[in-house]
Amino acid sequence: MAADRTNDLNDLNDLNDRGDRGDRGEVPRTIDWAGDHLVAIDQTMLPDRLTLVELRTVDDVIDALARLVVRGAPAIGVTGGLAVALAAVIARRDGHDDNWVRAEAARVRAARPTAVNLSWGVDRVLDRFHADPSNVDGAGGVVAFARSMVDDDVATNRSLAARGADHVRSLLTDPDRVRVLTHCNAGGLACVEWGTALGIVRALHEGGHLHEVFADETRPLLQGARLTAWELARMGIDHRMVVDGAGASVISRGLVDVVIVGADRVAANGDVANKIGTYPLALAAARAGTPFIVAAPESTVDPSTQSGGDIDIEARDPEEVLVWHGRRLAPLASEALNLAFDITPFDLVTALVTESRVVRLAAGERVTG
């Protein structure tokens, strides 16, 4: 079982406010390496408590991924890479062979199916392990390589955010009072730091160009209400929560200038998998003529998946929909379909912004080829 490090955090700083005071105190990295194990913010506890957990076994990591202790495509990609490094460290300590590390990596890769970043992160570190299995802790070894992915994620998102903010402003008649709608959480908590869609929001805010953010609550696990709102509050950004069903009306009423979301996988044709509820926002934005921007690192682009129809959509436990805080919402006879992601067709995406390019998908530009 993963160990709770809440007290360490309390000692460090009074970080356990809900953002109500607009406290912009530094938040630890979402996921990091700590000597011989991983340390992660427990996102299931936010916004009530900012809690760190130690992940000391591969089972700890898999459990954290499955329960969304760590979630968000870039964050789970980095976590996947760190998990392979952890497996290599454990293998050397306990005398397991290379096949054991390979098998553990396969278990991590299978923890969640939709975000391609997970297999991307696992495979990158596994490749490094295969290249020199004897070099675990040394310079250029498996651990050092996995740790470099943590730093790279921060640099990637900062670059993406700056590019995205410039692009968003270039699309608008009033680029100095930008009003944004976002969905789920594509902020620092979904990455190591900074964020993708929310990274653009942050860059707009820091440049003095942001007016307001609408954040969808994001049923059933409320990543918008619990996590995005927490991040916005800590950054001192004016924001209003809306229920998921209100998103289309917010757009059609002209309350936002742009919709900015993250992605879990971008197929070769530009179709986008993201949190369930993203597709209706894209439909509404197209109808209203509102730009619909997808912000994702290149590690989220999957050239081996031809189109959205080929993406494995995670179906989660129906109880997440049927039960709220221990109370059954629907009659006992009711069942639920709990699809965690949906597919937005490429022609509804005004632009995909990555750390290295802007691809105007709706205008016919291609992601690959």
As annotated, the active-site residues are: 264
Which DSSP state fits 187? B
Shortest Cβ 65–ligand MRU spacing (Å):
9
Shortest Cβ 140–ligand MRU spacing (Å):
29
Is there a contact between 290 and 171 (Cβ–Cβ < 8 Å)? no
Is there a contact between 231 and 189 (Cβ–Cβ < 8 Å)? yes
Q: Give the residue with the Cβ less far from ligand MRU, 104 or 342.
A: 342
Q: Give the residue with the Cβ less far from ligand MRU, 136 or 203.
A: 203
Q: Give the residue with the Cβ less far from ligand MRU, 64 or 191.
A: 191
**Which secondary-structure segment (H or E) carries 85?**
helix 73-94
Minimal CB distance to ligand MRU: which residue? 262
Shortest Cβ 340–ligand MRU spacing (Å):
5
Which of 89, 31, 88 is closest to 61 using CA atoms? 31
Give the list of residues 6+ apart from residue 53 with CB closer than 8 angstroms, or none. Answer: 2, 3, 4, 5, 39, 40, 41, 42, 64, 69
Is there a contact between 5 and 52 (Cβ–Cβ < 8 Å)? yes
Give the list of residues 6+ apart from residue 209 with CB closer than 8 angstroms, or none. Answer: 165, 169, 175, 176, 177, 178
Q: Give the residue with the Cβ less far from ligand MRU, 51 or 89.
A: 51
Q: Give the residue with the Cβ less far from ligand MRU, 128 or 205.
A: 205
* Chain residues that interact with ligand MRU, rule: CB under 6 A: 68, 71-74, 115, 184, 186, 190-191, 196, 223, 262-264, 274-275, 340
Instruction: Please tell me the distance from the alpha carbon of residue 329 to that of residue 191, in angstroms, as a whole number.
Output: 32
Is there a contact between 218 and 185 (Cβ–Cβ < 8 Å)? yes
Which DSSP state fits 299? G
Instruction: Please tell me the distance from the alpha carbon of residue 323 to that of residue 43, in angstroms, as a whole number.
Output: 19
Q: Is the peptide bond before 220 cis (omega within 30 degrees of 0)?
A: yes
Instruction: Please tell me the distance from the alpha carbon of residue 200 to that of residue 222, in angstroms, as a whole number.
Output: 21
Shortest Cβ 231–ligand MRU spacing (Å):
12
Give the list of residues 6+ apart from residue 90 with CB closer than 8 angstroms, or none. Answer: 57, 58, 96
Q: Give the residue with the Cβ less far from ligand MRU, 114 or 136.
A: 114
